[in-house]
Amino acid sequence: MITFALRRLLATIPTLLVVTLLVFGLVRLLPGDPARLMLGESANPQAIAELRTQMGLDRPIMVQYAAWLADVVRLDLGRSLVDNASVSRIIGQKLPTTIELSLLSMLVALVLAVPAGTIGAVKRGKPIDSAVTVFALAGISLPNFFLGILLIFFFSVQLRWVPASGYVGLLEDPLRNLSLMALPAITIGVGLGAILTRYLRASLIETLSQDYVRTALAKGVPGLAVITRHALRNAMIPVITAFGLQLGTLLGGAIITEQIFSIPGFGRLLVDAVSTRDLPVIQGVVLIAALAVFLVSFVVDLLYAAADPRITYS
């Protein structure tokens, strides 16, 4: 198992290096001289030249890359051009909010997907299955920014149940935090839930057709018990994988949703950094997003291997 984990980890390193190269190159293509942007409008050319030297912008590009990579490995992502704050620290501040939002969204997704996927699979071919299929497809097709707006319209503007937007830290005021996070979590959770419903339904259909389930049913074990105790558990394995693969979807959803609901998270950070051309922050955010995807797919792989005896570690 450990060998498998190590081998899997080693295999990702070349790709990871390419990712860093892409992220580094990406931001270098942005228009505007970073030194000039940093010093502002009234800076004189000499000061700009000095800063360029100081920032190493006058060195060959590969040297700059190597230096940057060395810093990154030490978790030093540079400093924001806007306020000179450490990028790692800024990201560290924003990340918990987005992680909370992501976890809540996953919860919403599971609450939607488990019953819907199960019903669809069990009542396969029946009208209710068609309904599940159509709703799942609708959920995938509904843009989260439209859904967010609809939710604000109905629950904040019309019914006045929850505030339209805003953010309070979870530790500051847990209740208010959760009431503010409800609509954003639903905004992301619906689309994610729709994707999971499709996975779960398909996976459950396969499990239900397997011999041991048939046997259990034939022996007279009540259907619901079979489903919850045996089939669902097995069917969840590919669903967990799907979850891992949807991390990108989740992060994309967070960008839009944090924008609509004014949540100071990771996604807002990216949009703000893009608009102020804050290169080190853009670089840091994109890199951390990629690392998160790597990490999650790695963990999912391990879980998958651990959960499914058919997978060998060789």
Q: Can you tell me which of 77, 192, 255, 280 binds other proteins, judged by CB under 8 A?
A: 255
Is position 307 an interface residue for other proteins (rule: CB under 8 A)? no
Q: Does 286 bind other proteins (CB under 8 A)?
A: yes
What six digits make up the tokens of 27?
A: 């931001």
| Contact track, other proteins, 195-234, x by CB under 8 A | ---xx--xx-xx--x-------------------------
CA distance 147 to 120: 24
CB 214, min distance to other proteins, A: 13
Residue with tokens 């979870």: 170
Single out the residue of 274, 300, 302, 307 in contact with other proteins (rule: CB under 8 A): 274
* Binding pattern for the stretch 125-164 against other proteins, x by CB under 8 A and - elsewhere: ---------x--xx-xxxx-xx--xx-xx--xx-----xx
**85 phi and psi, to 5 degrees?**
-80, 155
Number of residues that bind other proteins (CB under 8 A): 87
Of residues 108 and 167, the one with the C-beta less far from other proteins: 167
Q: Do the beta carbons of residue 238 and residue 151 sit within 8 Å?
A: no
- When the beta carbons of 31 and 60 are compared against other proteins, the nearer one is 31
Of 5, 43, 55, 217, the one binding other proteins by CB under 8 A = 43
Footprint of other proteins on 19-38 (CB under 8 A):
19, 21-23, 26-27, 29-32, 36-37
Give the residue with the Cβ less far from other proteins, 220 or 310. Answer: 310
Instruction: Tell which phi-psi region holds residue 75, choosing left (phi > 0), alpha (psi between -120 and 50) or beta.
Output: left
Q: In Å, how far are 141, 242, 302 from 289, measured between CA atoms?
A: 24, 18, 20
Q: Which whole-number Å values give the CA distances from 89 to 74, 178, 195, in the listed order?
A: 13, 25, 34
Site membership for other proteins, residue 304 (CB under 8 A): no
Question: Can residue 39 be called a binding residue for other proteins (CB under 8 A)?
Answer: yes
The distance of Cα 3 from the centroid of its chain, to the nearest Å, equals 28
> Which DSSP letter does residue 32 get?
S
Q: State how far the Cα of 144 lies from the Cα of 46, in Å rounded to an integer.
A: 48
Is residue 140 within 8 Å of residue 152, measured between CB atoms?
no
CB of 54 to other proteins, least distance (A): 12
Q: Does 123 bind other proteins (CB under 8 A)?
A: no
Contact predicate 280/87, CB 8 Å: yes
3-state secondary structure of 124: coil
The binder of other proteins chosen from 93, 182, 237, 302 (CB under 8 A): 93
> Given the rule CB under 8 A, which of 69-77, 102-110, 284-292, 306-314 is the region that contacts other proteins?
284-292
Terminal Cα distance for the chain, rounded: 9
Question: In the set 213, 251, 284, 301, which binds other proteins (CB under 8 A)?
Answer: 251
